[in-house]
Amino acid sequence: MVQATVGVTGLAVMGRNLARNFARHGHPVAVHNRTAGRTRALVDEFGDEGTFLPAETPEAFVASLERPRKIIVMVKAGAPTDAVIEEFAPLLDPGDILVDGGNAFFLDTRRREAALRQREVRFVGTGVSGGEEGALNGPSIMPGGPREAYAELGPLLESVAASVDGTPCCTHVGEEGAGHFVKMVHNGIEYADMQLIAESYDLLRHAAGLEPPEIAEVFRTWNDGRLESYLIEITAQILDHVDPATGQPFVDVVLDRAEQKGTGRWTVQNALDLGVPVPGIAEAVFARSVSGHTGLRAAAAGLPGPDPDAAPVLDLVGAVERALYASKIVAYAQGFHQIEAGAAEYGWDVDAGALATIWRGGCIIRARFLDRIRAAYEADPHLPTLLTDTGFADALGGAQDDWRRVVAAAARAGVPAPGFAGALAYYDALRAARLPAALTQAQRDYFGAHTYRRTDRGGVFHTRWAQDGAEEETG
């Protein structure tokens, strides 16, 4: 009897497509779903794509797998994941590998891995990016969990991952929760990237006065250059799309409220805990939040803005391209900073260059740009920030005049551009010789005796502001 080399439980669109991907690559795949109808539908519709071993019960599913078993759980993150683990764990043997391919919160993954370790089941929290199309044709896969589990699981996952220049977009990114952590930050970067693209569109439309098909053409041109990426490519297609029902540009008939399932918010919450500045990601999360506050927006809609008949800003296209590229460097620099800080905090060994390598294909943020990041970390694995890589520093230097012009043009035209403005502020803050944090610290000392350090000598000081104004050394 044929035994399955891998099993997939949870056959909604992501699980179903991943199972088909395994089957198409010649792996006999066991398939199971809580409601058996989905399992039958998968085999009826796609059974000729490879060897599927459908199972109606968890027991039959587990029995159809070769050992050590490799089971991929593709259910909605949260309580459903715990329910599946509870159902399957008693059926597994020591050494079996349980993979969670959902968008789980990484602290849940740590907890689950620790619990399953008691049963000697190896739990591998894995980021999977690329949406339903990626799951079918090659996603970017970010497994965490025990390194020795990857030795057995890796070849299987690598065989179905996307591949760029012959390198699979899958690697062991780090121990235990590291896989879901980096997927979380990937999504945070995805939010920032999308926000910057949205601001570029808004500027070209409302400051430069271009129409959606013209902007689509601009994006298509950009996609032939250093900004080449999946997100730029789909943006051009969306802007070209005409709504069949109304004949209007499609972008004009979509309600301007961006939703979120929450991974971007988690990224920012975690960055706050780690003390890592990720304003690019935070601005993107908040921009979605602002868009959803329709009551607030309606109340403020009458507030004065700049002259609506002001002449369009000329020659903005090239400047926006440079501002977008520079802001994108900043957003990725912030994301990689968070990954580095997370790895240090949670004790994982994460290789930033390897991560950039597996994000080059399959995932939502796939881009030519990732190859530049890979090269930057190859040149210096201990790069303090992507901004100081020679190539990126040159690009930032070359962009900065236009970047400032774009932020100014946005302010003048009343186009909200928090991503561009925030990225520029981050750049200026990092390169500043002196920050006004000196004044902030002095204020803290004034009202709360929180002390300060001096530029000219060591020690900790307090000035007796309310008494004699004299300085005392406190430590």
Q: Which residues are catalytic?
A: 183, 190
Least Å distance, CB 78 to ligand 6PG, is 13
Specify the residue, 363 or 395, whose C-beta has the smaller distance to ligand 6PG. 363
Identify the helix (H) or strand (E) that includes residue 127.
Answer: strand 122-129
The reply on whether position 131 binds ligand 6PG by CB under 6 A is: yes
Within 259-288, which residues bind ligand 6PG (CB under 6 A)?
260-264
Which residues on adjacent β-strands are paired with residue 52? 29
The reply on whether position 15 binds ligand 6PG by CB under 6 A is: no
Least Å distance, CB 191 to ligand 6PG, is 7
Within 111-130, which residues bind ligand 6PG (CB under 6 A)?
129-130
Least Å distance, CB 447 to ligand 6PG, is 40
Least Å distance, CB 220 to ligand 6PG, is 23
Least Å distance, CB 339 to ligand 6PG, is 15
The reply on whether position 357 binds ligand 6PG by CB under 6 A is: no
Other Cβ atoms within 10 Å of 148 Cβ, number:
10
Specify the residue, 125 or 264, whose C-beta has the smaller distance to ligand 6PG. 264
Least Å distance, CB 392 to ligand 6PG, is 24
Q: Which stretch binds ligand 6PG (CB under 6 A): 61-69, 93-101, 256-264, 348-356?
A: 256-264
Query: Which is it for the CA torsion 85, 88, 90, 94, positive or negative?
Result: negative
* 440/326 Cα distance (integer angstroms): 29
Site string for ligand 6PG, 84-113 (x = CB under 6 A): -------------------x----------
Specify the residue, 13 or 375, whose C-beta has the smaller distance to ligand 6PG. 13
Q: Which stretch binds ligand 6PG (CB under 6 A): 20-28, 221-229, 254-262, 353-361?
A: 254-262
DSSP-derived 3-state class of residue 243? coil
Specify the residue, 10 or 264, whose C-beta has the smaller distance to ligand 6PG. 264
Which residues on adjacent β-strands are paired with residue 70? 97
Q: Which stretch binds ligand 6PG (CB under 6 A): 112-120, 255-263, 304-312, 463-471?
A: 255-263
Q: Which two three-digit tokens encode residue 67?
A: 């050992």
**Which are the contacts of 262, defined by CB distance < 8 A and separation ≥ 6?**
none
Least Å distance, CB 365 to ligand 6PG, is 8
Site string for ligand 6PG, 182-201 (x = CB under 6 A): -----x--x-----------
**Which are the contacts of 181, defined by CB distance < 8 A and separation ≥ 6?**
106, 144, 174, 270, 339, 342, 346, 348
Phi, psi angle pair for 318, to nearest 5°: -65, -40
DSSP 266: H
Amino acid at the residue 283 = E
* 349/347 Cα distance (integer angstroms): 7
- For tokens 């490879």, name the residue: 50
Size of the site for ligand 6PG (CB under 6 A): 13
Among 31, 104, 207, 364, which residue interacts with ligand 6PG (rule: CB under 6 A)? 364
Specify the residue, 50 or 131, whose C-beta has the smaller distance to ligand 6PG. 131
Question: For residues 209 and 322, is the Cβ–Cβ distance under 8 A?
Answer: no
Nearest residue to ligand 6PG on Cβ basis: 129
Least Å distance, CB 14 to ligand 6PG, is 9
Other Cβ atoms within 10 Å of 46 Cβ, number:
16
Amino acid at the residue 429 = A
Question: For residues 415 and 206, is the Cβ–Cβ distance under 8 A?
Answer: yes
Specify the residue, 131 or 209, whose C-beta has the smaller distance to ligand 6PG. 131
Q: Which stretch binds ligand 6PG (CB under 6 A): 211-219, 258-266, 271-279, 378-386?
A: 258-266
Intra-chain end-to-end CA distance of the chain, in Å: 75
Specify the residue, 69 or 180, whose C-beta has the smaller distance to ligand 6PG. 180
* 142/126 Cα distance (integer angstroms): 5
Query: Which is it for the CA torsion 156, 160, 165, 166, positive or negative?
Result: positive
Least Å distance, CB 268 to ligand 6PG, is 12
Phi, psi angle pair for 31, to nearest 5°: -125, 140
Specify the residue, 122 or 186, whose C-beta has the smaller distance to ligand 6PG. 186
* 222/250 Cα distance (integer angstroms): 21
Other Cβ atoms within 10 Å of 4 Cβ, number:
25
Footprint on this chain of ligand 6PG (rule: CB under 6 A): 103, 129-131, 187, 190, 260-264, 363-364
